[in-house]
Amino acid sequence: MLVKKGAEASLFLEDWQERQVIMKRRLPKKYRLLKVDERIRTYRTIHESQLLHSAKEAGVPTPTIFLINLTDSNIIMEYVQGTEVKRVLHNLPTESRYALNVHIGKLIGQLHKNRIVHGDLTTSNMILTTSGEVVLIDFGLGEKTSQVELRAVDLHLMKRAFQSTHFLYAKESFDAVMKGYFMVVGEETGKKVLDKVIEIEKRGRYISER
């Protein structure tokens, strides 16, 4: 069953080895040369699998990978039962929402501290499980880097997600995320990244005003 269709890959809920799993399929792109397409899909499949594993090693909950099929560019991974943070954040009391966002900030800080950039940090790519754990999913656009710019882009995307989807409490949510982030990466690193986020925002305003 198709769960989510993206530009780069699609997610299917399937039965495998007597359990429900998510199969992430990178389907061939007809506009690319066959050999080029195969290399791109294979690389991205390997790369995402490595990032998911690295994030888990860094203490950030991610789906467990069961099987990687490089021939078909598929990843079979754990089906994380829960709800997208996007769908629950607005229903939470103020204190619970604050605590959840601080926790999310800590997870992002843990990623960045271990040189992992998610690449698509939105509340749609975070699953809140029934046990209250936040699991980060979809590392397809992620990469290994310690660049301040790319860390800031990660957080800028998070801020934009709050502004577009959770606009009633966007500022308080992002401030809470940054509080958790600072707690993990430290004051000096946190300030460098936050300053870069502000710089990125200014660039966007300048371009839109031209």
164-172: Cβ within 8 A, 24+ apart: 165/86, 165/122, 165/123, 166/86, 166/89, 166/90, 166/123, 168/90, 169/90, 169/97, 172/97, 172/98, 172/101
Question: The whole model's pTM is what?
Answer: 0.93
Could you tell me the end-to-end alpha-carbon distance of the chain, in angstroms, rounded to an integer? Answer: 45
Q: What is the pLDDT of residue 4?
A: 86
pLDDT (0 to 100) of residue 184 = 98
Q: Which domains does the chain have, with CATH numbers?
A: 2-78 (3.30.200.20), 82-209 (1.10.510.10)
- Tokens for 123? 């509340």
Q: Catalytic annotation on 37?
A: no
Written as tens digits, the pLDDT of the chain (210 aa) is 998 887 788 999 999 999 999 999 998 888 899 899 999 999 999 999 999 999 999 999 999 999 999 999 999 999 999 999 999 999 999 999 999 999 999 999 999 999 999 999 999 999 999 899 999 999 999 999 999 999 999 999 999 999 999 999 999 999 999 999 999 999 999 999 999 999 999 886 544 443
Catalytic residue among 120, 154, 175, 195: 120
pLDDT of residue 205: 58
Cα–Cα distance, 65 to 49 (Å, whole number): 7
Q: Give the distance from CA 75 to its chain's centroid.
A: 17
Report the pLDDT value the prediction gives residue 5, as an integer from 0 to 100: 84
